[in-house]
Chain A
Amino acid sequence: MDAKLIHDMSNPLTIAHGMIGIALSHLESGDVQNAVNKLQKSILALDKLKIILQAERAKLPNTLKAEV
């Protein structure tokens, strides 16, 4: 796996993980609206990660695609 791909995947993963953490903090203090906002940001980050993974999958030889 090249360095660029690791970097590209690392940021959305960090954002998704971190936003869920902030959402939990907001929930602890009863701030549901802000918790939902942060969860939406985590979903956007995961969507970005999904697009990156799909693009990587598309590069695989056809024989491997069925298994990944």
Chain B
Amino acid sequence: MKEKILIVDDEEEIRELIAFSIERALVNPIVMQCGDGQEAYDCIQKEKIDLLITDVKMPKMGGTRLVASVNNLPAEQKPTHMIVISILTTPQEEPKVINGTSFFPKPWDASQLETHIRHLFGLVAIDRPAGKKTEIDQSVIDVFLEATIQVLTVTGNISVQPDGVFMKQPDTVSGDISAIIPMNSKEYTGSMSISFTTPAFLELAEGMVGGHFTEITSDIESAAGELCNQLYGLVKRNLNRVGHSLAPAIPSIISGPNHKIRHLVQGPCYTLQFQVGAGTVRVEVVISPKLR
């Protein structure tokens, strides 16, 4: 989902600050800007806005009148969420929510605003080591989930049981054989890996190439890269259909009992776990927004 955000403030620099917070808070949002309330009101009548963020004191039409006017619009035209940023409250106060509209003080706490925006859109914030925050939209996780089931079921010719999505703790073992692939788009950078325990990999390899295997040998290691390639290809196709811009990439294979994966960027590691036969398959995704 690409959230449409409209920022209304007569100061260009203030709009720039709010836009920066929005781009940190959400994945790939559409950010629009207006310099006064009248311009914003005209814009809202033309297209559905997911979040309106407005100043109070502005030329032509102020924020208070803008919110009142917007509240009189039919429900399908009203922005889903509204935030008013004003100097009317003191910086120490928590944001207030009155009749569905949130009120933030000016100057505002950027991290508080980012957390609030994420909360409005049902996103979970995860602390990153550098103190920044990031998150992946649930719809993106769903794309990985569905693609993994499809690739393992069709290519590996085996039944797959999803076993949960969780945040991987640092220094956790990924598996006995893995393939990792970089994920680069205009908006973010990162990597995706798929890891197999030995029993899961051997069953998949048997399904893919036939025969019977008792250990992971160099003859069948390339199957991990092939599965990773197919998974990334499917994820890329499905995400790019909804506005992402993932670039083609080539996977690398890592093997060794109980190895750990070091991803290409720092950040929370979303792990999708599946039960495959007597073993486990884990797909790990780490992305970090690119700063502009």
Taking Cβ atoms with an 8 Å cutoff, the residues of A that contact B are 6-7, 10-11, 13-15, 17-19, 21-22, 25-26, 28-29, 31, 34, 41, 45
Contact = CB atoms under 8 A, between A and B. Distances in A.
B107 A14 contact: yes
Contacts of B291: 25-26, 29, 31, 34
Interface string B11-28: 101100100100010000
Nearest to B55: A11
A34 B292 CA distance: 9
B87 A28 contact: no
A24 to B, nearest CB: 9
Main secondary structure of the interface of A (DSSP, over half): helix
Given A13-B107, A18-B110, A7 B57 contact: yes
B242 interface: no
A19 B16 CA distance: 9
B121 interface: no
Interface centre among A10, A14, A26, A29 (most CB of B within 10 A): A14
Main secondary structure of the interface of B (DSSP, over half): loop
Interface of B: 11, 13-14, 17, 20, 24, 57, 87, 106-108, 110, 130-132, 291
B110 A21 contact: yes
A21 B13 CA distance: 13
Given A11-B14, A19-B13, 13 more contacts: A6-B87, A15-B11, A15-B14, A15-B17, A18-B13, A18-B20, A18-B107, A21-B17, A21-B110, A22-B17, A25-B20, A31-B291, A45-B13
A18 B17 contact: yes
A11 B11 contact: yes
21 contacts: A6-B87, A7-B87, A10-B106, A11-B11, A11-B106, A13-B107, A14-B17, A14-B106, A14-B108, A15-B17, A18-B20, A18-B107, A21-B17, A22-B20, A26-B291, A28-B130, A29-B291, A31-B291, A34-B291, A41-B13, A45-B13
Contacts of B11: 11, 15
A6 to B, nearest CB: 6
Nearest to B110: A21
Contacts of A25: 20, 24, 132, 291
A11 B131 CA distance: 26
Nearest to A45: B13
Contacts of A45: 13
A19 B15 CA distance: 12
Interface centre among A18, A26, A45 (most CB of B within 10 A): A18
Q: What 10 pairs across the A-B complex have the smallest Cβ distances? A: A18-B17, A14-B107, A15-B13, A10-B87, A17-B107, A29-B291, A28-B130, A10-B106, A22-B20, A21-B110
